[in-house]
């Protein structure tokens, strides 16, 4: 089955930071897992490059918006391979093909009668040449930047008849209780819809850094509408000569941060309805990463976790593991270098890495590196029963943290199993060779099954261990605990997660 998943696209008016990495990694875990299930996966990410902030920043730097966008888009794009993110395409909203398709879709919205020319009225700062939002205005209606008095002004805009979709959106929320996840966000979005919808402006006339409105070329589309459409337009040109739209649309998952909830859970489905396009199955809203002190990360507080520092110190898999493990996906959570160290040493090095080391070492020492081809221990098999299915169910619900916890319970179980059976004692008694065979075969099988499931989270390390075990099948089906030892001759493996 087709499985289409996206991250939000990053706004290029800034540098990539941990938040971008977090979202990309979480989405990548789901995408990789789905590929392990032989789903026909398409994973999209990219950059959002239009709008006033980019135009303004470019002006400040004395370059054209396109030059600025090119520079910054390259930085975002370069981040992905560093994180081992396996996106299938990287869309830029400045792509010509994107422009063309945005115009196509919104033309249809226009033709269907869901737009009209109206007046946007708001508080305007003549120095900023920009309207200010209600909650950013200082007391006395003053500009937050210039602190000068704002004037009440109007601008002629094209409007989108969001209000016309109130009923259909309510219906969507009634029929798809998992349209927005987790539940708190669903409630939030639904409450917003229920409270009554106003029309929203669809175009801007004061600015030209955007996609031209085809029926009124003096306007460009409001950046959000252009940006949201990336999820749809990308499928049209990601594979030159092959339109993937029918194959993948609508998306299974849009993974986003809570700050852009409204755009994705209200505006976006309404716009798709207006264009007569199917709406996505799920919008998953993740939380924010906080400083180790639980406060919002900020340079002045000095509580920022630098992803590149983690990558340098511990590596890509460690960063991926840490973020998926330590912060419940869907909630906010504190992160810090100390916590990274604890998870790395206690779990990746001591529990998983060392489990691999001791297992391989015993195979080498007691059986010349060969996994005995004997029946595995039903007691250990029992501990793995249902694991892969449970992981599958949790990932279906985007519960990447919960799934990892289940996997990790079995990592611990394997270490306990080693102690229970004490293979080094069995090795001293030739009469108990059969028992030792069983224990070693079972342990090899255990770390193999675990590594298959861990491929989505720590792809490089899991793969290294599987290679050492001569086990190349990474499909989720292969995560079932086998009834017999593989008979493979394993190879030596340097510590997967060396301690410093």
Indicate which residues carry an active-site annotation: 17, 20, 125, 128, 143, 146, 296, 299
**DSSP three-state, residue 89:** strand
Q: Tell me whether residue 259 or residue 276 sits nearer to RNA (CB atom).
A: 259
Q: Does 167 bind RNA (CB under 7 A)?
A: no
**494 Cβ contact list (under 8 Å, min separation 6):** none
Is residue 195 at the binding interface for RNA, with CB under 7 A as the rule?
yes
| Residue of 271, 277, 289, 356 that binds RNA (CB under 7 A) | 356
Residues of span 378-417 touching RNA by CB under 7 A: 412, 415-416
Residue 86 C-beta: closest distance to RNA, Å: 24
Interface with RNA, residue 90, by CB under 7 A = no
Exactly one of 192, 291, 375, 464 binds RNA (CB under 7 A); that residue is: 192
Stretch that binds RNA, among 64-72, 109-117, 132-140, 211-219 (CB under 7 A): 132-140
Residue 11 CB, shortest distance to RNA, in Å, is: 4
- For residue 40, CA distances in Å to 5, 280, 400 come to 11, 17, 20
**Can you read off the two tokens belonging to residue 409?**
């319970």
Surface-to-core class of residue 62, CB atoms within 10 Å of its CB (0-12 exposed, 13-18 middle, 19+ buried): exposed
Candidate list 17, 77, 168, 258; residue touching RNA; CB under 7 A: 258
Choose which of 332, 375, 393, 435 interacts with RNA (CB under 7 A): 332
**40, 259, 473, 477: residue in contact with RNA (rule CB under 7 A):** 259
The residue written with tokens 């007046």 in the block is 119
495 touching RNA, by CB under 7 A: yes
> What's the closest the beta carbon of residue 239 comes to RNA, in angstroms?
27
Show the tokens assigned to 418.
């080693």
263 binds RNA (CB under 7 A): yes
Q: Tell which residue, 402, 406, 390, 459, has the closest CA to residue 32.
A: 459
**Considering only 143-151, 186-194, 378-386, 469-477, which stretch makes contact with RNA by CB under 7 A?**
186-194
135 lies in the site for RNA, by CB under 7 A: yes
371 - beta bridge partners? none
The minimum distance between CB 3 and RNA, in angstroms, equals: 25
- By CB under 7 A, is residue 109 in contact with RNA? no
Residue 44 contacts residue 89 (beta carbons within 8 Å): yes
408, two tokens: 């990790």
Task: Please answer whether residues 121 and 134 qualify as being in contact, where contact means their C-beta atoms are separated by less than 8 angstroms.
Answer: no
Does position 53 interact with RNA (CB under 7 A)? The reply is yes
Are residues 465 and 443 in contact, defined by beta-carbon separation less than 8 angstroms?
no
Helices (H), 238-353: 245-248, 261-262, 268-274, 307-314, 316-326, 337-343
Select the residue interacting with RNA from 102, 340, 418, 426 (CB under 7 A): 418
Residue choice 125, 180, 200, 479 for contact with RNA (CB under 7 A): 200
- Enumerate residues 10-49 that contact RNA by CB under 7 A: 11, 13, 48
Question: In this complex, which beta carbon is closest to RNA, that of residue 20 or of residue 35?
Answer: 20
Angle at 237 between CA 235 and CA 242, to 5 degrees: 85
Binding residue for RNA, selected from 20, 50, 286, 325, defined by CB under 7 A: 50
Q: Give the residue with the Cβ less far from RNA, 37 or 75.
A: 75
The site that binds RNA (CB under 7 A) totals a number of residues, namely: 68
What count of other Cβ atoms lies within 10 Å of the Cβ of residue 120? 18
What is the smallest separation between the CB atom of 171 and RNA, expressed in angstroms? 17
Among 188, 390, 396, 435, binds RNA (CB under 7 A): 188
Cα 300 to chain center, whole Å? 28
Look up residue 122 and give its two tokens: 């708001």
Say which residues have a Cβ less than 8 Å from residue 414's Cβ, sequence separation at least 6: 355, 380, 443, 446, 447, 450
Which of these, 464, 426, 427, lies nearest to 448 by C-alpha position? Answer: 464
Radius of gyration (Cα) for the chain, nearest Å? 26
* 441 touches RNA (CB under 7 A): no
3-state helix, strand, coil in the chain (%, to 5): 50, 15, 35
Q: Examine residue 284 and tell whether it contacts RNA (CB under 7 A).
A: no
Q: Does 329 bind RNA (CB under 7 A)?
A: no
Of positions 176, 212, 354, 489, contacts RNA by CB under 7 A: 354
- How many Å from the N-terminal Cα to the C-terminal Cα in the chain? 44
Q: Report yes or no: 5 and 43 within 8 Å, Cβ to Cβ.
A: yes
Binding residues vs RNA (CB under 7 A): 11, 13, 48, 50-53, 120, 131, 133-136, 162, 183-184, 187-188, 191-192, 195-201, 222-224, 227, 258-260, 262-263, 328, 331-333, 342, 346, 349-354, 356-358, 361-362, 365, 412, 415-416, 418-419, 422-425, 495-499
């Amino acid at each position: 089955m087709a499985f289409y998943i996206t991250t939000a696209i990053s706004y290029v008016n800034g540098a990539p930071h941990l938040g971008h990495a977090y979202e990309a990694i979480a989405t990548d875990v789901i995408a990789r897992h789905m590929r392990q299930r032989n789903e026909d996966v398409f994973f999209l990410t990219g950059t959002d490059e239009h709008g006033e902030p980019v135009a303004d920043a470019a002006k400040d730097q004395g370059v054209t918006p396109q030059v600025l966008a090119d520079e910054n888009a390259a930085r975002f794009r370069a981040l992905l391979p560093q994180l081992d993110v396996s996106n299938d395409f990287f869309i830029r909203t400045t792509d010509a093909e994107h422009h063309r398709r945005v115009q196509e879709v919104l033309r249809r919205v226009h033709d269907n009668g869901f737009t009209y020319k109206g007046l946007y009225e708001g508080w305007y700062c003549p120095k900023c040449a920009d309207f200010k939002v209600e909650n950013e205005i200082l007391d006395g209606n003053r500009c937050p930047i210039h602190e000068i008095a704002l004037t009440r002004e109007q601008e002629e805009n094209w409007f989108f008849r969001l209000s016309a979709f109130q009923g259909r959106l309510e219906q969507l929320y009634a029929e798809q209780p998992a349209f927005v996840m987790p539940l708190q966000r669903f409630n939030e979005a639904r409450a917003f819809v229920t409270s009554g919808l106003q029309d929203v402006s669809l175009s801007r006339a004061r600015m030209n850094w955007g996609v031209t409105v085809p029926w009124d070329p003096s306007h460009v589309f409001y950046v959000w509408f252009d940006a949201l459409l990336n999820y749809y337009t990308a499928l049209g040109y990601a594979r030159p000569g092959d339109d993937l739209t029918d194959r993948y649309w609508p998306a299974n998952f849009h993974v986003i941060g809570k700050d852009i909830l409204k755009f994705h859970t209200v505006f976006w489905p309404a716009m798709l309805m207006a264009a007569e396009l199917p709406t996505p199955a799920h919008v998953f809203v993740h939380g924010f990463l906080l400083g180790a002190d639980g406060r919002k990360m900020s340079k002045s507080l000095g509580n920022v976790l630098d992803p590149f520092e983690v990558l340098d110190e511990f590596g890509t898999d460690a960063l991926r593991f840490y973020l998926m493990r330590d912060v419940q996906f869907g909630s906010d959570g504190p992160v810090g270098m100390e916590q990274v160290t604890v998870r790395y040493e206690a779990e990746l090095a001591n529990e998983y890495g060392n489990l691999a080391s001791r297992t391989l070492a015993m195979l080498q020492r007691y059986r010349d590196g060969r996994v005995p081809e004997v029946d595995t221990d039903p007691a250990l098999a029992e501990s793995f029963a249902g694991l892969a299915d449970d992981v599958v169910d949790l990932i279906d619900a985007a519960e990447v943290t919960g799934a990892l916890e289940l996997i990790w319970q079995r990592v611990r179980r394997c270490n306990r199993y080693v102690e229970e059976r004490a293979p080094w004692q069995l090795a001293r008694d030739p009469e108990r060779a059969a028992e030792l065979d069983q224990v070693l075969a079972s342990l090899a099988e255990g770390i193999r099954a675990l590594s298959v499931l861990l491929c989505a989270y720590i792809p490089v390390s899991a793969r290294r261990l599987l290679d050492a075990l001569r086990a190349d099948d990474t499909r989720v089906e292969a995560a079932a605990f086998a009834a017999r030892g593989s008979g493979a001759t394993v190879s030596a493996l340097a510590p997967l997660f060396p301690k410093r």
